[in-house]
Amino acid sequence: MSLSAPSRRLASLCLSCNPPISTTTLAHRTRIPIDAALRRTLSSSQPRRADSTSSDKPNPILEEWKRKNPGDAAAGKRPSLPAGGLTPQSGDIAASSIFEDERRAQEQKDAEDAEGAEGEEEPGVMKVGGIRRNSEIMARLLDPNPAAREKWEKKMVVRSLRKGGRLNKALFLKRTEREHLSKSHNLKTSVKKLGMVARQIAGKTLDDAIVQMRFSKKKVAIEVLEQLEKARDEAVVMRGMGLGLVGASKSATDEANPAKDDKSLEIQLKDGKRHKISDSSAIYIDQAWVGRGPYGKLPDYRARGRVFIMRTPWTSLSLVLKEEATRVREFEEREEKRKKAVTRNVWKHLPDRPVQLQRQWYSW
């Protein structure tokens, strides 16, 4: 590659002014070929340095200061730092932080300590959640009729002490047996379709009902399965059902139950079927019924531009969950009743009967 005419003239002038440079020395100093060194020296230009005073970039902070202080800007003054300098501001935690509740509690406690003396001096003032409230004004809403409240409390005390404090059968069962009622939201199906599913799971254990709904082909079975799982979780958490020997408090029925200590017991249900129980705390579905909900509206497009309005049904499902100890008690009550009926009215041949219609003379 040959150099251009101006470059050749410049090269000839430089070679005539300066002594010749040996190829070995130049190559040793630059570690690059001589042609590349000459090409870089002759053809390239010197880098230019930017002038620091010729910068025309805008300064947004300075522009904002000039807009806020037009008088100082016209006089040629420059913004200055405050007397104390730039003091760092204390940061804060986010509202979603796990320490937010602790900080609020500490602030509330400090405020209560600061205003504690003032609240004690004023009569009829009480603090609810760190807020000062007047007890007389609150009593008008919380206790509008004190006489009726005292009468009701007295009635409840008398009822609890009636019959020497003994409980009737209904209250005794409420205290000794666990029960949970769960109602679902409105499902988009009819009473007839959901009623068949309710009759299918009624009387089964909760685990068996979940398995039935998991493999069912019915469309509503998916929502029924979700309701069964929700009812199971509520019964375990809210009522302590289905815990077995985990640590739940045992009732008096469990103590007299022969099915405890992992011993299986076979009982007969109301419909005559035999049922085997291995855990008296297992949950079963005692009752399952459906309830009719509000009707929806759905257009039905017909011929000739006609549109009919169809009524789409909505139905709810209600479940009553109990433990197997309840079924054992019901079975024992039925057996006891059956044995009494058999042994009480036993027929005897020529029983001893008292003599009736006695007279002082003969009847013939």
Region 274-291: mean pLDDT is: 95
Each residue's pLDDT tens digit, 24-62 = 444 444 454 545 444 544 444 455 554 444 456 788 888
Given a cut of 90, whether residue 214 has pLDDT beyond it is yes
Region 287-299: mean pLDDT is: 97
Residue with tokens 């020529």, as numbered in its chain: 350
| Confidence band, pLDDT 50/70/90 cuts, at residue 276 | very high
Handedness of CA 105, 108, 113, 119 (dihedral sign): negative
Region 246-260: mean pLDDT is: 50
Given a cut of 70, whether residue 257 has pLDDT beyond it is no
| Confidence band, pLDDT 50/70/90 cuts, at residue 253 | very low
Given a cut of 80, whether residue 254 has pLDDT beyond it is no
Task: Tell me whether residue 97 is in a domain.
Answer: no
Task: Tell me whether residue 119 is in a domain.
Answer: no
Region 186-190: mean pLDDT is: 96
Task: Tell me whether residue 359 is in a domain.
Answer: no
Domain that holds residue 283: 180-247+264-343
Structurally, the chain folds into a number of domains equal to 1
Across 39-43, 163-167, 238-242, least confident range = 39-43
d(CA 328, CA 258): 9
Length of the chain as a residue count: 364
| Confidence band, pLDDT 50/70/90 cuts, at residue 269 | very high
**Neighbour tally for 188: CB within 10 Å:** 13
d(CA 323, CA 17): 114
Task: Tell me whether residue 167 is in a domain.
Answer: no
**Between 338 and 75, where is the model more confident?**
338
How many helices and strands, by DSSP H and E, does the chain display? 14, 9
Task: Tell me whether residue 221 is in a domain.
Answer: yes
CA 327, 333, 336: angle at the middle one, nearest 5? 140
Given this model, what pLDDT does residue 21 score? 47
Please name which of 210, 284, 282 lies closest in space to residue 246, comparing C-alpha atoms: 282
d(CA 332, CA 324): 13
Given this model, what pLDDT does residue 234 score? 96
Q: Concatenate the DSSP letters of all residues of 133-196 into one string.
A: EEHHHHHHHH-S-HHHHHHHHHHHHHHHHGGGG---HHHHHHHHS-EEEEEPPPBSS-HHHHHH
Given this model, what pLDDT does residue 286 score? 97
Average pLDDT, the chain: 79
Give strand pairing partners of 112: none
Given this model, what pLDDT does residue 84 score? 55
Alpha helical stretches, state H, 191-298: 191-201, 206-214, 221-234, 252-255
Given a cut of 60, whether residue 236 has pLDDT beyond it is yes
Task: Tell me whether residue 293 is in a domain.
Answer: yes
**Between 334 and 341, where is the model more confident?**
334
Task: Tell me whether residue 113 is in a domain.
Answer: no
Region 194-205: mean pLDDT is: 97
Given this model, what pLDDT does residue 273 score? 93
**Residue 28 CA to its chain's centroid (Å):** 78
Each residue's pLDDT tens digit, 351-363 = 777 777 778 787 7
Give the CATH number of the domain where residue 232 resides: 3.90.470.10
SS3 at position 111? helix
The rounded percent of the chain whose pLDDT value lies above 90 is 44
Given this model, what pLDDT does residue 196 score? 97
Given this model, what pLDDT does residue 208 score? 97
Given this model, what pLDDT does residue 313 score? 97
Across 18-27, 66-75, 144-153, 334-343, least confident range = 18-27
